[in-house]
Every structure is written in structure tokens, then in C-alpha cells.
Structure 1
Amino acid sequence: MTSFTLAFDIYGTLIDTTSIEHSVNKIIGDSSKLFTQTWRNTQLEYSFRRGLMNSYVDFSICTKQALDYTCKKLNEPLTSQQKNNLLNEYKTLPIYPDVIQGLKLLQNTNHKIYAFSNGSNQAIQNLIKTAQIDQFINGSVSAEDVKIFKPSPIVYRYFNTKTDSTKNMTWLISSNPFDIIGASAYGMRTIWVRRSSESVFDPWGIIPTKTIGSLIELKEVLDSSI
């Protein structure tokens, strides 16, 4: 039976980064959605800029600095304790409701499942253990090991090296268009998890191999590709 290597992105794909909005709302009220979106977008922008500068830091530093920027940008002067509470919560964010069922459907297949993230090795382990999905995952691969972030081709190449896989038999599963585009440009097959009808894919002329709305659809998509 044909088997694939599955590279699951963590933040925004398995782990719900928007869930922190509830805690932000308790602090600043109605502008919590804008605050959360600005924080997440800036976090990603900082990782991209550091990649271009060859100035790697732990992804958690990008998260912290993005939070500081967001507070200044939106004139929301959070206290040090409030910031620390949010940053600590970021380490144990919950999974999306479809994750457990989606991974369970893959249990009796020959596919190898890996967590694949810009987060550090420790951050990945904390998240998947807290979410109790480590039982479904064969291993993890972190951009920390090569000191540069996705979507650099270096990170995708490292994934194949570490997992002893080939790019043409690897599927990247991600809700982040930048990640899908990066993996596609490198040569991996890709599945975009479009978690919101408001999500727009970048019009770069590069499209996902497949698009799904829920991880519950994943096994059927993979079965049809064998």
C-alpha cells in the first residue's frame, strides 16, 4: 500500500491561534479581534524579516516582540503581567475541534505523521502533549534546527532529510498560504486547510495541490491520490 509522509503545520492548522482572543477580550474589550489579528500577522512578518536578514531567534521571541509592537500600534498599554500571561497561554493553545477525528482517521494507514513548525522543538512538544495528540504523531521537525523559518526552502529540505522522505511523496498540510506556497515552490505536495470562508489564498500563480475545509476530509483526499 502506498504511504505518504505527512508534514502537519502546527500554529493555525492543528493549534487554534485565534483562541487567545478570549483572554485578550477580558483585558481590552471590543478591539480584541483586531489586536489578536495584528499580533499574529506581526509575529509572522517578524519571522519572515529575520529569515531575510539571516538573524534567527527562537519563534517565541518573534511572538513576544510582536505583542510589544501590537500594544504600541493599537495604543493598548498592557502591563508586564498581562503580557506574560498571554505569552504563557500561547504555549498551551487548544487544538481545533476537527483535529482529533482527522488524525484518528489516519491511524490505520501507512502514512507517517510529523508535526512541522517554525516553533522550537520544546514548543512543539509542549503543544502536542498538552493537546493530547502526541499519540497520533510519529515525530516532529522544527525550523529551530536549521536556524531559519518557513517558507525558506532550507526548512522543507531539512524536513525531508530528517524524516528520510522525498518531496514528491510528502504532503504539507497547512492553513497558512505562505507555508503552502513555500512548500509547493520547493516541490512538496500540499493541502491547504481553509479554516475560514474569509481566508484568501495569495494570487501568486501557485495553488495548493488540494484544498479542504476540515481535517476530517484529509484521509479521503489522500486515498484518492494513491
Structure 2
Amino acid sequence: MKYSIGFDVYGTLVDPVDMGQHLENLIGDRASEFGQLWHDKKVEYAFRRGLMQQYADFTVCTHQALQYCLNVYQISLSPAEQQQLMARFAELNAFDDVIPGLKKLVQHGHHLAAFSNGPELSVRKLMANSHILPHLQQVVSVDDLQTYKPNPDVYQYLVERLQADINSCMMVSSNPWDVIGAKSAGLKAVWVKRSPSKLFDPWEIQPDLIVSDLIELATLLNT
């Protein structure tokens, strides 16, 4: 069966905590935990804005999350240094399995799209810089709807943009909440378990597939 597949970007195609060197230059040995808190907070802020129906794009969520982290760690960065960190989100690296996995999926006729909470122009720049863009047919952003995943409307929008039958439309994400959101909206969903220590939420909704990376996904879908 050929699928139309939407891939979450941050955490699935690229590593949002892959800011280590840039953070270390400004923050020091707390860079790793700072990076994880920054990622968690920007996702939380997007959730809040979606529920409150007070939309601002993901860049705003990211910057406000940075401000929160700076306050938590009592770190002072100049506006220029903060802007430097924000700009690094366009330079995140693809996970090693991503491009080989996408190539295999395209070779077998699947239709691939990046599907992100980030604004489309920002996501396109990131996908180009990480060399992922040539292996995708589309880039779809929730920014078009002025709300965030896991609102069911955004998953229906993905189906419409991919011009797909919902039964052959699949969401692939390393975030359990994203998988649950897609499944609850009627899509098929795959959880990419990027670490052995990661746990899926103990909900009544579970993924259709669990894979360790996109190469494994391509192998399973193409057999």
C-alpha cells in the first residue's frame, strides 16, 4: 500500500536539542539540560496558545521559552546573543537515519511531507539546510490554520493538503502526544522511539507501528 506521510519535524527529522555547541559557547556545562528545557517549554507554550485560542507563531513560543530558561538558570544574554541562538534553529542537523529512510520511502512510491508547528518559510529553510528538502514532496504548516497540533483540525488539514484518503494518510512522529493526536483524528500513526528509555503515554490510543528510526519504517512499509 502507498501512503501519504506527514513527518513531524522537531525531534523526528531533526534534533531540537542539537544546540549543544552553540549553547555551550554562551551557557557552559549546563547546555544539555538547558536545551531540553527550552524544547519542552516551547512545546508547552504552543499547547497553551492552542487551548486559549491566542495564536502566535512558533517563533514567538520559542523566544518566550528561551526567556523562561534564561530566568530559570539566571543567565543574562544580550538581545544579539539571544537572536544568535534563535537563528541556530535553522541549522539543526538531520538524524542519521532520516535521509536514507526518506529515500527508500520515495523509491517505493510514498508521498512525503514535513508537517510542523513551525511557520512554513522557517521549516523550508531548516529542511533545505539539513538537506532533507529534496526528499520531500511538500511542506505543511499549522500556521495556515492559526492553531497547533494536536488540534484535530490540523490533522484534517494535512489530509486535505496531501489530497489523500484518510485511510492511507499517516503521521510519523517521535512525540507520543502527536501520535495520539493524529490517531484520534482518524489518521494512521507511527511512533519513532528514538531512545530506548522513551515511554509512550499509557492512553487508550496507541500507535499503529513503533519503529526505532525511519530506515526501519521504510523497511516495514515496503515489505
Q: TM-score range by the shorter chain?
A: over 0.9
2:166 maps to 167
Letter of the 1:145 counterpart = D
Letter of the 1:8 counterpart = F
Percent identity at matched positions?
Answer: 37
1:85 maps to 84
Distance between the aligned counterparts of 2:212 and 2:139, measured in 1? 24
**Number of equivalences:** 223
Question: Residues 150 and 182 of structure 2 are in contact (CA less than 8 Å); yes or no, is this contact kept in structure 1?
Answer: yes
Distance between the aligned counterparts of 1:181 and 1:91, measured in 2? 27
In the TM superposition, residue 26 of structure 1 has moved relative to its aligned partner by 2.0
1:47 aligned onto 2:51: no
DSSP 3-state at the match of 1:168? helix
1:123 maps to 122
1:154 maps to 153
1:195 aligned onto 2:210: no
For structure 2, which runs of at least 5 residues remain unmatched after alignment?
Answer: none
1:138 maps to 137
Distance between the aligned counterparts of 2:92 and 2:168, measured in 1? 30
Letter of the 2:180 counterpart = I
In the TM superposition, residue 205 of structure 1 has moved relative to its aligned partner by 2.2
Q: Per-residue displacement from partner, 1:162-187 (whole Å, max 9, x unpaired)? A: 11112221111111111111001111
DSSP 3-state at the match of 1:24? helix
DSSP 3-state at the match of 1:37? helix
In the TM superposition, residue 11 of structure 1 has moved relative to its aligned partner by 0.8
1:11 maps to 10
Distance between the aligned counterparts of 2:90 and 2:173, measured in 1? 19
In the TM superposition, residue 215 of structure 1 has moved relative to its aligned partner by 1.0
In the TM superposition, residue 74 of structure 1 has moved relative to its aligned partner by 1.9
In the TM superposition, residue 144 of structure 1 has moved relative to its aligned partner by 0.5
Distance between the aligned counterparts of 2:104 and 2:81, measured in 1? 39
| Equivalences for residues 60-71 of structure 1 within 5 A | 60-71=59-70
In the TM superposition, residue 193 of structure 1 has moved relative to its aligned partner by 0.7
For structure 1, which runs of at least 5 residues remain unmatched after alignment?
Answer: none
DSSP 3-state at the match of 2:217? helix
1:213 aligned onto 2:199: no
DSSP 3-state at the match of 1:198? coil
**TM-score under structure 1 normalisation?**
0.95
In the TM superposition, residue 89 of structure 1 has moved relative to its aligned partner by 0.4
DSSP 3-state at the match of 2:205? coil
Larger mean Cα displacement after TM superposition, 159-168 or 173-182: 159-168
Question: Residues 90 and 129 of structure 2 are in contact (CA less than 8 Å); yes or no, is this contact kept in structure 1?
Answer: no
Letter of the 2:57 counterpart = D
2:185 maps to 186
Letter of the 1:114 counterpart = A
Distance between the aligned counterparts of 2:83 and 2:145, measured in 1? 28
In the TM superposition, residue 16 of structure 1 has moved relative to its aligned partner by 1.1
Distance between the aligned counterparts of 2:31 and 2:130, measured in 1? 24
